[in-house]
Amino acid sequence: MSAALLAAEGLCKRYGAIQACRDISFEIEEGEALAIVGESGSGKTTLLHLIAGLMTPDAGEVRYRTRDGVIRNHSSLSEAERRALMRTDWGFVHQDAARGLRFSVSAGGNIGERLMALGERHYGRIRASAAQWLERVEISADRLDHAPWTYSGGMRQRLQIARNLVTSPRLVFMDEPTGGLDVSVQARLLDLIRGLIAEMGLAVVLVTHDLAVARLLSNRILVMKDGEVIESGLTDRVLDDPETPYTQLLVSSVLAV
Amino acid sequence: MTKPSTKDLLVVEGLDKAFTLHLHGGLRLPVVSQVQFTVARGECVVLDGPSGVGKSSILKIVFGNYRPDAGRILLADGDRFLDIAGASPRAVISARRRIMGYVSQFLRVIPRVPAIDIVAAAAREGGLEPQAARARAASLLTRLNLSERLWRLPPATFSGGEQQRVNIARGFAGHHILLILDEPTASLDAENRDAVVELISERQASGTGFLAIFHDEDVRARLADRMIDVSAFSMSEAA
């Protein structure tokens, strides 16, 4: 049995009197999409930051299997190593595109930057790759030289995805990737993300409060409440036959249209 | 417990299911108890009984969508059997990709995705290359008489019958050896019902087993190798 791509074990994090995460363990394999759902304040974003190495847990550990098969503990990574992983092997799609993009740099520059971090120096190839990725996320390549602040919300989010995926990462963290977008824009974006996950065999950890998004993008799910995982399993089973009172409440509170 | 034979695709035994409604004072709604049946290769087994008796619930439990309280659901996986009742989420996901497919009563998809892309995506999941997947989608939609001018459109604005045919095409796009059908012909006219019956018969002839609910008498008469009266297992008041 080979080790999981990412494994979290006994993760705890406390902010003063608030226990944001309590004893959380799970694993994710290549090509799997795991959703973390719960209401605001349930600890889901803290959990995402812990496993992405953006925050240090009070207790527990996160292990990641690198491309050469070595299992690395997050706490053993130097800051430089963690940054290198973040630029190559991992992606992070923020709800707020401003956190995931550099607004002063052109769209092409935003995408090219990650390629350069991998050592690519050939301007023509970087530009061609960037143009190709823009089209792949359904943005016309003639917007390559425009800065992201000229883009609409949905386009910024797609640009952020292109920037993250250009280096063919193995694991992508997503924090409410469709949050704050118009419903009409959300649907296309969801379809795009779903297609890319399938085509590239990406592993994804997705934080969302939107159960419909979790259903469409993930195959496994963790339900969080007050810093704990209270239910987990197959996404459609947890949503269609929820076991705990809280999950039943969450599922039954969604407006059906 | 019986030992499944090599011709069995699916062996269900001792299956119990009840829902506990925590938002309604922990009310317990028993659905079925001690369900027992098998589906062999190339066989079409139809679940029968009045509305509310638990037929759809049984289909959902077999597909791993509902959690059973007791019992075994043995699904043939090569020369082994996988117990869906106790399988890990990962094992169920893998079984759904390789072994069993499900056609629900209603089409549920991402809005604004064209019909042909929905079907092609299912064929891709079944292991076909993009071009072959598209060709397979086109051939299924053609066989199901879905007008070609609709292929590029998302199904949201389609009629019930058209949506259902997209749903069936999606369910048949993979290479599953067990297909679970929840009233696939409910909203179809006679001509389209025929197309579906033909499609099912063809797959049966090639060894695919079916576990289905059909309300239409004519469809049952033409397809059912065996009928299972779910009332016999039902704990609901409908029985």
Segment B173-206, tens digit of pLDDT: 999 999 999 999 988 999 999 999 999 999 999 9
Contact call for A191 and B22, based on CB within 8 A: no
Listed in sequence order, the residues at least 6 apart from A156 whose beta carbon sits closer than 8 Å to its beta carbon are A97, A101, A148
Give the strands of the sheet with B226-229, arranged side by side: B100-103, B178-182, B209-213, B44-48, B226-229
Looking at residue B110, its pLDDT comes to: 79
pLDDT in tens, B29-53: 999 999 999 999 999 999 999 999 9
d(CA A129, CA A144): 11
With contacts defined as CB-CB under 8 Å, which chain B residues touch A190? 110
- Closest-CA distance, A240 to chain B, in angstroms, reads 7
Residue of A nearest to B96 (CA): A219
Which of B23, B65, B121 minimises the CB distance to A249? B23
CA pair distance B165, A245, nearest whole angstrom: 37
Mutation for B interface: A32, A181, A191, A235, most B CBs within 10 A:
A191
Strand A220-225 to strand A228-234: parallel, antiparallel, or no bridges (unpaired)? antiparallel
Per the listing, tokens 């269900």 go with: B12
Number of residue pairs across A and B with CB atoms under 8 Å?
Answer: 53
Arithmetic mean of pLDDT, B102-115: 87
Residue B22: closest C-alpha in chain A: A245
- Tokens, residue B73: 């659901």
Average pLDDT of every residue of chain A = 92
Nearest to A93 by CA among A8, A208, A12, A229: A208
- Asked if the Cβ–Cβ distance from B22 to A188 is below 8 Å, we say no
List pLDDT tens digits, range A166-218.
999 999 999 999 888 887 788 888 888 888 888 888 999 999 999 999 998 99
What pLDDT, on the 0 to 100 scale, is given for residue B239?
Answer: 60
pLDDT value of position A191? 85
pLDDT of residue A2: 67
- Give residues with Cβ within 8 angstroms of A63, minimum separation 6: A3, A4, A6, A7, A9, A71, A72, A73, A74
Render pLDDT for A89-104 as a digit per residue (tens, 0 to 9): 999 999 999 999 999 9
Question: Cα–Cα distance between A27 and A35 in angstroms, integer?
Answer: 12
Out of A32, A237, A248, name the one closest to residue B64 (CB): A237
Interfacial A residues in 2-41 facing B (CB < 8 Å): 29, 32
Q: Is the pLDDT of residue B168 over 60?
A: yes
Across the interface, do B66 and A243 touch by the CB < 8 Å criterion?
A: no
Secondary structure E strands in A16-160: 18-28, 33-37, 59-65, 71-73, 90-93
Give the one of A187, A236, A252 whose C-beta lies nearest to B110's C-beta: A187
- Nearest residue of chain B to residue A201 (CA atoms): B125
Give domain limits for chain A.
1-89+169-180+207-257, 94-168
Query: What's the pTM?
Result: 0.92
Mean pLDDT estimate for chain B: 94
pLDDT of residue A255: 66
Question: Is the CB of B67 less than 8 angstroms away from the CB of A237?
Answer: yes
A231, A236, A247, A251: which to substitute to probe chain B, counting the most B Cβ within 10 Å? Answer: A236
A236 and B CB contact within 8 Å? yes
Assigned token pair, A19 = 């226990």
**Given this model, what pLDDT does residue A256 score?**
60
Closest chain B residue by Cα to residue A217: B110
Search chain B and give the residue with CA nearest A27: B90
Under-70 pLDDT residues of chain A: 1-2, 255-257
Q: Do A220 and B89 touch (CB under 8 A)?
A: yes
In terms of C-beta density within 10 A (0-12 exposed, 13-18 middle, 19 or more buried), how is residue A155 classed?
buried
Among A190, A237, A241, beta carbon nearest to B110? A190
Question: Using the beta-carbon criterion (under 8 Å), do A249 and B67 form an inter-chain contact?
Answer: no
Please answer yes or no on whether B65 and A237 come within 8 Å at the CB atom: yes
User: What DSSP string describes B76-137?
Assistant: EETTEEEETTT--HHHHHHHHHHTEEEE-SS----TT--HHHHHHHHHHHTT--HHHHHHHH
**Is the domain A1-89+169-180+207-257 a CATH 3.40.50.300 member?**
yes
> Whole-angstrom Cα distance, residue B141 to residue B50?
32
pLDDT over threshold 50, residue B233: yes
- Judge contact between A13 and A50, C-beta under 8 A: yes
Would you list which residues of chain B are within 8 Å, Cβ to Cβ, of chain A? 19, 21-23, 60, 64-67, 89-90, 92-93, 110-113, 121, 124-125
A211: which chain B residues are within 8 Å (Cβ-Cβ)? Answer: none
CA distance B12 to B1: 10
